[in-house]
Amino acid sequence: MEKLTVEEGDNSQCHSCNKSRESLSSPLNKCAGCGKAWYCSKDCQKEDWKDHKPRCLKSRTASRLDGITHYNTVAYKIPQAQELAQTINLTLPTSSAIHEGIVTPLRRLVMTGKDTAKNLELFFGPNWRSSMRLNHEEVRIEVLLNPPPGSPAYVLAASMHMDDDAPAWSPRPVSDSEKRTIDEVRAMQSLVRERVGAGQSPSNAVMKDILTSFGANWVDKLPLYQLAVNTMDQGVQVQ
């Protein structure tokens, strides 16, 4: 019998001998490499390897796309990702467009409380945790801090039109670890305001005084200080 080409992902028949799933006494086995080909036996899988190998290797490479590449070149092809984008008033980029960054889509998901693992995978691929986890955590903290007008973070978002037509602000509840970080940031902001007053930018000397007050490990507090000043009113104006 002539072998018929089976569409990738079709688990209704063996991709080698074309026997239907219903006619077999045992379940079809999925290719462990790409997960898109199915076989009734090891012999059939070996027989099909020459034909399947190029597609298998290509699929494996695609599955390892980093989050930015997936967002810019793959997400728009996924119907569920398109539907998700519509709910947060976001237009997904296409492969023919200039590649866009991931801060705006992350921000929209966080702002609307839709930054679930399932939705993050729709936008940024199955490997989003390895390539996007830290970005997601940083965006969540910034959104939860809700930077006021006059803060560098607010001005940056406004100048880049990140929140144009954004849905209502309704992030998921703060976790215990996030609360600890936010409390530390608020405390740092209080120190800055004590030194320079409200709506003023701290100088390098103020930064040094505040950081060195934490002792020998003051360098560890630098990221927290930067987050604190970026999310507090310094009188910065949108250009």
Convert the pLDDT of each residue in 205-214 to its tens digit: 999 999 999 8
Domain end among 63, 83, 110: 63
Residue 74 belongs to a domain? yes
Residue 77, CA distances (Å) to 97, 103, 119, 126, 177 in order:
14, 20, 15, 15, 35
Name the helix (H) or strand (E) containing 39.
strand 38-39
184 lies in the same domain as 126? yes
Which whole-number Å values give the CA distances from 186 to 121, 125, 140, 145, 182, in the listed order? 32, 34, 16, 9, 6
Quote the CA–CA distance of 91 and 77 in Å, as a whole number.
12
* Whether residue 36 sits in one domain with residue 72: no
DSSP annotation of 20 reads B
Q: Is 48 left (phi over 0), alpha (psi -120 to 50) or beta?
A: alpha
Quick check: helix, strand or coil at residue 145? Answer: helix
Q: Do residues 76 and 94 make contact, with C-beta atoms less than 8 angstroms apart?
A: yes
Mean pLDDT (whole number) for 16-20: 91
Give the tens place of pLDDT for each residue, 55-112: 877 765 555 568 888 899 889 999 999 999 999 999 999 866 666 788 999 999 999 9
Pull the structure tokens for residue 58: 């290509």
Would you say residue 91 lies in a domain?
A: yes
Average pLDDT over residues 218-233: 92
Residue 141 lies in a domain: yes
Residue 239 lies in a domain: no
Residue 31's pLDDT is what? 84
Mean pLDDT of the chain: 88
**Average of per-residue pLDDT across 210-230:** 90
Q: Are residues 37 and 71 in the same domain?
A: no
Domain contains 117: yes
pLDDT for res 217: 85
**Same structural domain, 41 and 85:** no
| 63, 81, 105 - which closes a domain | 63
- Most confident of the following: 38-42, 45-49, 165-169, 175-179: 175-179
Q: At what angle do helices 117-124 and 79-87 cross, to 10 degrees?
A: 110
CA–CA distance, 88 with 111 (Å, rounded to integer)? 9
Shared domain check, 86 and 7: no
Mean pLDDT over residues 116-127, rounded? 93
Are residues 102 and 28 located together in one domain of the fold? no
* Of the residues 30, 63, 96, the one at which a domain ends: 63
Kindly state whether residues 10 and 127 are assigned to the same domain: no
Amino acid at 216: A
The number of domains in the chain is 2
Range of the domain at 39: 1-63
pLDDT of the residue at 69? 87
SS3 13: strand
Could you read off the pLDDT of 162-210 as tens digits, one per residue?
A: 888 889 999 999 999 999 999 999 999 999 999 998 888 999 999 999 9
